[in-house]
Structure 1
């Protein structure tokens, strides 16, 4: 209620300062690009990252965070950051069972980090705010990939600076493969019929620079009026076959999308954050908050053109909060252009991947997390404080509640969880697979279950936080350690250079 009153007061204040200003602010709060995008640019597909096998049999990747410039056609070249290029980064790809090592070099002139979002790995390799990489330094995390085939991603996670680092362009996909998924008749030719789509909204100054001052009224951070897909404005994709697999990543800082096709046709949802579903789910919409992923398969007809669109997402917000946080916006995202003669594609399999259901009766602990303002359970992030202690190889239930009128999501590092219920009811089909990030709605508590296996470290924590990046930066984050049975938690390492406090 406080948020609604504050929002209303702000609008009335603007109107009182000048009716023309108030009307302009009110009307400009909604973006609608339906039918207004000329899809004139071929979609850029991030290259697969080169790798090599070292003397220990590890697959080695090299990433360098570096400054660059890119012309997005918005008034002049835009200063950007990227990995191994001017904007975004290459797609890393590895197979279950492989040992990987990533050399992360920092060339941007200020401390940063790289978090492997969705990856199960030791806390010291996680790339959170305790694994900062100093300017000019190289960090070389390594771990064994031991989780199902999935579409993951990587991005910076410096405490207090994540919003700006991601907004400037530091992000990329990390695709995992396994033997089970390789046997399925799903489109799998990377860049041909298996397409990564990193969807981001950006705002631009008149000289082409990114505008990072938008979205203040909504209190959620930067909201842009221009969509980039893999860094491409107004993109189109040539589709050579009867079916195309789109790996959707909401790489935006704050915006939630509700993806569908402009002609309202259905598509097959085959995977979510942590991997494939047990069976495809035929649907017309898939809602993704920042950080969430979905794999969909779209069927095409010869010579047709169809637009991937984001519709106003249902978020349970009141009228004012919805309007000023992007909840009323519509975007034309990408045009799919089918060839005149399409290559045959198999039907989507009726069975995909088995998912072992975690038994709530096996849970040893139930925790509750209330999100409000910029706090979780009434506290803001403290890098020196451990908020939860989890025993290795235990199963826990977490109940997450959003108790204010502002959009929030919830992301847990290291584990993939299963959703037990939403508002006391069985989760919808799109939430029945493995997840690591989930959008929250007021008065609709989400119960999740996760098993914290393999890795214990009493001193090095993992994070849980809202994945609206400004909220995260402002302190809506906590940390937990995984310990051996009977072991006491230690002390997190001292905050590294580049950490910011909260006002």
Structure 2
């Protein structure tokens, strides 16, 4: 079967900080490139620990006919393999930096000790190695890994350093969810790029407030990708791996699909919907059905960014084709999807041990920019916290917390929709709205090594919209961030 589908592109301003003219997609892309499936990373169990190996390295990749792009990747030229582990397993990742500059590897969404988190305090020098080790202790989920060097995260991710980290548990395999990796369980790393005429990535944002917005959308590194469906149901693990763009994923025919999971794992019940909005760093697991011989285009519609000023400047009017799903004439039967998954223990606002207020404005959290030598918040081990988070700007931000998964209690006092009723580690912040979220700090104490809180629009993070917290047993350190009256709004 053959199919030609037109790529929907948007026009953006030119003007480039790099010494090359812009590449403008002049011809529509035909969706005929087989979707690359990131390989499952090899591992071996040594003394009870599952050990993976990753090497950050340079390479060259052809995304567009006639153009070759210098890229970075893990264990290859671009992106990285999918790491996969089970709950209660001990894992270690031996990371080698074969690049010419310092980088890090952060395990986004993972509950683990601060010293293993891979943030800016765990740099890997050129030629250096790092071996974090921890026990997986959280539900099945679609997580990911990417660099987190202070001030350079956007560039390292734009060059191609990213990959998925899938967690399994016994319960998640009993719900009829498609789970044959690469066959009916498909990882999708969605990124927007801008190219220069000589094939290089554009790496600067050209003054855009939120960072770089590209005019070519890649799916697992492919432009115009098609996936040949062989089963009645397909599970798509969608990661917004872009540095600034927010997407609203839907299908071209408006069909419903089942949203079954968010950042930190499965929802309590499948949620039938026809779209899902994801800001940078967020993930969604969806299950969609196709009829034999049919096709459906996964698209990004113009996202609702809330009350932002000039939505067109932030991608609020953009739409893109992302991936063509093309069903075979005969499909293998799929198990029926369960009506309910595992219950999620719910936090109640009255149960919070501590409350904090966070205000995001420009490149600051509570009036402060990131300082690597300053601890902004101290969380006490074995406590539950309620946070009020507000974006005071009229342009997009989002909110990512390391180590924990949180629940959204309410937004401006209203109960969140079903898409926000699961575990989250990243959430889009519509301007001037109050998001109340709750989380629990447990298992890991470290009075020296901090975790991060930051906007996952990576330009914002690099320019200082990030703060640091530690998890401690020392109650005397509780108000460390309050020493000059500017930070630490805990009480």
TM-score normalised over the length of structure 2 = 0.91
Matched, 1:281 2:271: yes
SS in 1 for 2:229: strand
Runs of 4+ deviating beyond 6 Å: 489-492
1:475 paired residue number: 464
Alignment partner, residue 188 of structure 1: 179
Measured in 2, the distance between the counterparts of 1:381 and 1:194 equals 39
CA distance in 2, matches of 1:417, 1:198: 23
Distance 2:99 2:107 in 1: 19
CA-to-aligned-CA distance 1:364-405 (integer Å, 9 cap, x gap): 111111111111111100011111010001000011100011
What secondary structure sits across from 1:340 in the alignment? strand
Of the candidates 333, 342, 345, which is equivalent to residue 353 of structure 1? 342
Q: How far did 1:25 drift?
A: 4.4
How far did residue 486 of structure 1 move? Answer: 3.1
Deviation at 1:107, TM superposition (A): 0.5
Of 100-109 and 341-350, the range deviating more from structure 2? 341-350
1:203/1:214 contact within 8 Å kept: no
Inter-partner Cα distance in structure 1 for 2:12 and 2:371:
40
| Superimposed CA distance per residue, residues 147-171 of structure 1 (whole angstroms, 9 cap, x where no aligned partner) | 0000000000000000000000000
SS at match of 2:245: coil
Residues 458 and 489, structure 1, Cα contact 8 Å, conserved in 2? no
Q: Give the match for residue 163 of structure 2.
A: 172
Residue of structure 2 aligned with 1:79, choices 45, 54, 70: 70
Instruction: Find out whether 1:309 has 2:299 as its counterpart.
Output: yes
For 1:478 and 1:370, the matched residues in 2 are separated by 12
Contact 2:151 2:461 in 1 (8 A): yes
RMSD over aligned Cα atoms: 1.9
Partner of 2:351: 362
- Answering whether residue 142 of structure 2 is matched by residue 151 of structure 1, we say yes
Is 1:331 matched up with 2:323?
no
1:77 aligns to what SS in structure 2?
A: strand
Q: Unaligned stretches of 5+ in structure 1?
A: 1-22, 27-31, 493-503
Match in the other structure for 2:285? 295
Map 1:192-231 → 2, pairs under 5 A: 192-216=183-207, 218-231=208-221
- Return 292-301 or 71-80, whichever deviates more: 71-80
1:61 maps to what in 2? 52
SS at match of 1:232: coil
Equivalent-residue separation in structure 1 for 2:416 and 2:52 (angstroms): 38
- The corresponding residue for 1:253 is 243
Aligned-partner Cα distance in 2 for 1:308–1:74: 23
User: C-alpha displacement at 1:317, in angstroms?
Assistant: 3.5
1: distance between equivalents of 2:277 and 2:29? Answer: 22
Separation in structure 2 between the aligned mates of residue 408 and residue 319 of structure 1, nearest angstrom: 13
What CA distance in whole angstroms lies between the structure 1 residues aligned with 2:447 and 2:309?
45
Matched, 1:435 2:427: no
Q: Is the 8 A contact 1:418 1:449 kept in 2?
A: yes
Q: 1:48 to 1:238 in 2, by over 3 A?
A: same
Q: 1:40: how far off?
A: 1.5
The count of corresponding residues between Structure 1 and Structure 2 is 461
How big is the shift at 1:347? 2.2
2:17 alignment counterpart: none
Match status 1:38 vs 2:27: no
Instruction: Supply the distance in 2 between the matched residues of 1:490 and 1:125 (Cα, whole angstroms).
Output: 25
Q: State the partner residue of 1:271.
A: 261
- Tell me if the contact between 1:311 and 1:330 (Cα under 8 Å) persists in the aligned partners: yes
Whether the 8 Å CA contact 1:111–1:132 is kept in 2: the answer is yes
The question of whether the paired residues in 1 share the 8 Å contact of 2:379 and 2:478 is answered with: no
Q: Identify the residue that residue 21 of structure 2 maps to in structure 1.
A: none
Residue by residue over 1:397-431, the C-alpha shift from the partner in whole angstroms, topping out at 9 and shown as x without a partner, is 01110001111000000000000001110011000
Aligned partners of 2:217, 2:28: CA distance in 1, in Å? 13
CA distance in 2, matches of 1:259, 1:481: 36
* Maintained 8 Å contact 2:364/2:465: yes
Q: Report the 3-state secondary structure (helix = DSSP H, G, I; strand = E; otherwise coil) of the residue aligned with 2:312.
A: helix
Q: Distance in 2 between matches of 1:450 and 1:326?
A: 31
Residue of structure 2 equivalent to 1:409? 398
Cα distance in 1 for residues equivalent to 2:238 and 2:356: 31
Whether the 8 Å CA contact 1:373–1:406 is kept in 2: the answer is no
Alpha-carbon shift at residue 214 of structure 1 (Å): 4.0
Q: List aligned pairs for 1:376-395, cutoff 5 A.
A: 376-395=365-384
**CA shift in 2, pair 1:489/1:376, >3 Å:** same
Contact 1:215 1:325 (8 Å CA) reproduced: no
2:6: which partner in 1?
none
Q: Label 1:277 to 1:379 Cα distance change in 2 as closer, same or farther (>3 A).
A: same
| Farther-moved stretch of structure 1 (279-288 vs 363-372) | 363-372
Instruction: Give the distance between the partners of 1:420 and 1:358, measured in 2 at CA.
Output: 8
